[in-house]
Chains A and B, each alone.
Chain A
Amino acid sequence: MPALDIPSVGDLTRITDDVWDSFLETNSLTHQPISCALPVSQITACVHLSGAYTGSVMVQCSEAAAWLIASALFAAPAESLSESEMTDAIGEVANMIGGNVKSLVPGPSTLSLPTVAHGADSRLSVPGVETVREIAVDWHGHPIIVSLLQRTMEG
């Protein structure tokens, strides 16, 4: 059951837009209904919140989208970047979104360093949490999902 006083979908949208506008590409995200068909995510970047609010913020996308994000952040062609630079970039996106979400959840809470899982068969699961907010955006034809998870009463 979602707790009170958590960021709204509008908050999550605004935060994601701000990150994209500042560091990737201005006014380039198209917000999608969450019910849109989404590909199997191959990259999941996650930061964890612990304290008065316990949960996670996840950014899920395809590997192609992650390379595109890295190319934008590093201002370099994707083919010139290493895998660690790609995971660094998507991890930093999750960090910025998560950090701004942290400002809107009950505090005090601490923010973890980013974790990035990638690979065709990868799934990043956070035990004992449920998704309480989620948005889907399209960036140059690449779906990206941003989720806020919260510890369940039983977690």
Chain B
Amino acid sequence: MLAIVIDDSKAMRLILTRIMQGLSFDVLEAADGREAIERMEQGPLPDVALVDWNMPVMDGLEFVHAVRRHEGWRSVALMMVTTEGEKAQLVRALAAGANEYVVKPFTPDAIAEKLMLLGVGD
């Protein structure tokens, strides 16, 4: 299975990549939503995107909107992985089309559990 990790922090991308590789995912990385869109347009399409919220160029919420507007990308599961922990933000993300939500800091088990809820991976 293929995941894309989208975060402007290289350290955070590395942490999430290691977690996802440990869960037997192949992993693509992008530093912002725009870069992620471009990578997805090039293919292959990921099964799941782990999306930070606060990023330059295109933030996570804009990315979620963009993906959900794309007819051919409905199968991509979107999981916010963000410091935005308030309920109102969670509601915004889910209303935009995100499927799951993890607040930083997180544990690898929390990521794995959310992926199971999404029906993605093991």
Which A residues have a C-beta under 8 Å from some C-beta of B?
Answer: 18-19, 21-23, 70, 73-75, 85, 88-89, 91-92, 95-96, 98-100, 102-103, 107-108, 111-113
Q: B44 near A: Cβ within 8 Å?
A: no
Q: In the complex the two chains form, is A99's CB within 8 Å of B83's CB?
A: yes
Q: Which chain B residue shows the least CB distance to A24?
A: B105
Q: Report B64-119 residues with CB < 8 Å from chain A CB.
A: 82-86, 88, 103-107
The count of chain B contact residues (Cβ–Cβ below 8 Å) is 22
CB <8 Å contact, B84 and A99? yes
> Which single member of A21, A85, A99, A112 contacts B10 (CB below 8 Å)?
A85
Complex Cα spacing A98 to B15, Å: 19
Q: Given contacts A92-B9, A96-B104, A113-B55, could you give 9 more A-B pairs where the C-beta distance is less than 8 Å? A: A22-B107, A70-B11, A88-B9, A88-B11, A89-B9, A92-B11, A102-B83, A102-B86, A113-B54
Residue of B nearest to A20 (CB): B105
User: Considering only CB atoms, which chain B residue lies closest to A93 in the complex?
Assistant: B11
Contact of A111 with B105 in the complex, beta carbons under 8 Å: no
> Does B14 lie within 8 Å of A74, measured CB to CB?
yes
Q: How many A-B residue pairs have CB under 8 A?
A: 65
Bound CA–CA A75/B13 (angstroms): 12
Q: Do the beta carbons of A111 and B83 come within 8 Å of each other?
A: yes
Q: Nearest Cβ in chain A — how far from B91, in angstroms?
A: 12
**In the complex, what's the smallest C-beta–C-beta distance from B56 to chain A, in angstroms?**
6
- A108 in complex: contacting residue of B12, B15, B88, CB < 8 Å: B88
The 9 A-B pairs at the shortest CB distance, nearest first, are namely A99-B83, A22-B105, A103-B85, A73-B11, A92-B9, A89-B11, A96-B104, A19-B105, A88-B10
Q: Which residue of A lies closest to B52 (CB)?
A: A95
Q: Which residues of A contact B54 (CB under 8 A)?
A: 95, 99, 111-113
Residue on A nearest B18 in the bound complex, by CB: A75
